[in-house]
Amino acid sequence: LGKNIVYEESVKSTQEIAQKLSYEQKPEGTLVVADEQTGGRGRLGRPWQSPKGTGIWMSLILRPEIPLQKTPQLTLLAAVSVTKAIYKVTGLHAEIKWPNDILINGKKTVGILTELQAESDRVHAVIIGIGLNVNVTVEDFNEDVRKIATSLKIESGNETKRADLIAAILEEIEVLYREYLNKGFGLIKLLWEGYAHSIGRRIKVRTASQQLEGVAKGITDEGILLLEDDNGKVHSIYSADIEIPGT
Ligand code: BTN
């Protein structure tokens, strides 16, 4: 992974660049990295602040031959890999909040956005966008974001070299991706549950159609969250925002 690198100083969004590359221009493992994004995208159509030179704003392209419904597993794989890489490089313990936020001391440090290029059930490319606040300072965040977001520098007091962290992330993804292709999702699911901040805790879930409250039980083999409500009924959550009361 990362043998083919597309580096840009300033782009609207590395996701957009990754999508626009032709399939010949983006073999498996192609990485699009930028120093700054002027229109970084978050999940659910939200913007993602990506100030110049202070974070990792990148999109990794994978081209696995897997059915469409298994692609969320790759987002979880990426979240585990980034969490491990952060620990290796900085010693900071991060936790994963379903589906794909990474928190340090309860505040968001990393966001992951996976987008697909597919035709009916055939996956052509999985574009895993990773936004990691590395040396971002409190002043770089706007008022609203400040309350909920942090960076490696804010948490550790030290600057981290972005290139070192990118290399560590790619190394971790490479190991787990090979495991995934050879043996499936089993180990990654276990690792994910080990790093997960919400499993076993009481959470509130807001989906497009309903609000639910209960205990997060775990994830399924497809990466779907299982929530047990107070009547003991288990709900499968495909996509939602979760809130952990008291954090
Ligand atoms: C989220 O938590 O909402 C996901 C944020 C994903 C941000 C990254 S930064 C690199 C890539 N390019 C984008 O425009 N978004 C992703």
**Alpha carbons 118 and 95: distance in angstroms, whole number:** 31
Question: What CATH number should be reported for the domain holding residue 37?
Answer: 3.30.930.10
Q: Decide whether any atom of ligand 1 lies within 6 Å of the 101 Cβ.
A: yes
> What's the 175 CA to ligand 1 centre distance in angstroms?
23
On whether both 173 and 230 belong to a single domain, the answer is no
Binding residues are: 37, 41-43, 108
Structural domain count, the chain: 2
Kindly state the average pLDDT of the residues 100-129: 94
19 and 84 assigned to the same domain? yes
Average of per-residue pLDDT values in the chain: 93
CATH number where 229 lies: 2.30.30.100
Q: What separation in Å is there between the alpha carbon of 159 and the centre of ligand 1?
A: 21
CA 23, 172, 87, 242 torsion: positive or negative?
positive
Asked if residue 58 has its Cβ within 6 Å of ligand 1, the reply is yes
How far is the C-alpha of 74 from the C-alpha of 222, rounded, in Å? 10
Are 118 and 228 in the same domain?
no
pTM score of the predicted model:
0.94
Q: What is the pLDDT of residue 244?
A: 73
Q: Which residues are annotated as a binding site for biotin?
A: 37, 41-43, 108
Q: How far is the centre of ligand 1, averaged over its atoms, from the C-alpha of 96 (Å)? A: 16
- Judgement on whether residues 191 and 207 belong to the same structural domain of the protein: no
Assess whether the C-beta atom of 42 lies below 6 angstroms from ligand 1.
Answer: yes
Q: Are residues 207 and 185 in the same domain?
A: no
CB atoms near residue 159 (< 10 Å): 11
pLDDT in tens, 26-84: 999 999 999 999 999 998 889 999 999 999 999 999 999 999 889 989 999 999 999 99
Distance 234 CA to ligand 1 centre (A): 31
d(CA 77, CA 105): 22
- Using most ligand atoms within 8 A of CB, pick from 8, 110, 130 the residue to mutate for ligand 1: 130
Note whether 176 and 230 are same-domain residues: no
Q: Which of 159, 177, 195 is the last residue of a domain?
A: 195
| 3 state DSSP class of 147 | helix
Q: Are residues 100 and 140 in the same domain?
A: yes
pLDDT at 213: 93
Separation between Cα atoms, residue 131 and residue 48, nearest integer Å:
8
Tell me the backbone φ, ψ of residue 167, rounded to 5 degrees.
-60, -45
Together in a domain, 179 and 210? no
- Domain match, 113 and 235 both: no
Q: What is the pLDDT of residues 145-179, one digit of tens each?
A: 889 999 999 999 999 999 999 999 999 999 999 99
Sign, CA dihedral 158-161-166-167, equals negative
> What does the H/E/C string look like for 80-104?
HHHHHHHHHHHCCCCEEECCCEEEE
Q: Is the pLDDT score of 246 beyond 60?
A: no
Judge if 128 and 235 occupy the same domain: no
- Predicted confidence at residue 221, as pLDDT, reads 87
Both 85 and 105 in one domain: the answer is: yes
Report the pLDDT value the prediction gives residue 247, as an integer from 0 to 100.
53
Q: Are strands 55-62 and 31-37 parallel, antiparallel or unpaired?
A: antiparallel
Confidence of residue 240 (pLDDT cuts 50, 70, 90): confident
Report the pLDDT value the prediction gives residue 239, as an integer from 0 to 100.
Answer: 75
Range of the domain at 33: 5-195
- Of 195, 215, 235, the residue that ends a domain is 195
Quick one: 101 and 220 in the same domain? no
Nearest residue by C-alpha to atom 2 in ligand 1 = 111
CA of 40 to the centre of ligand 1 (A): 6
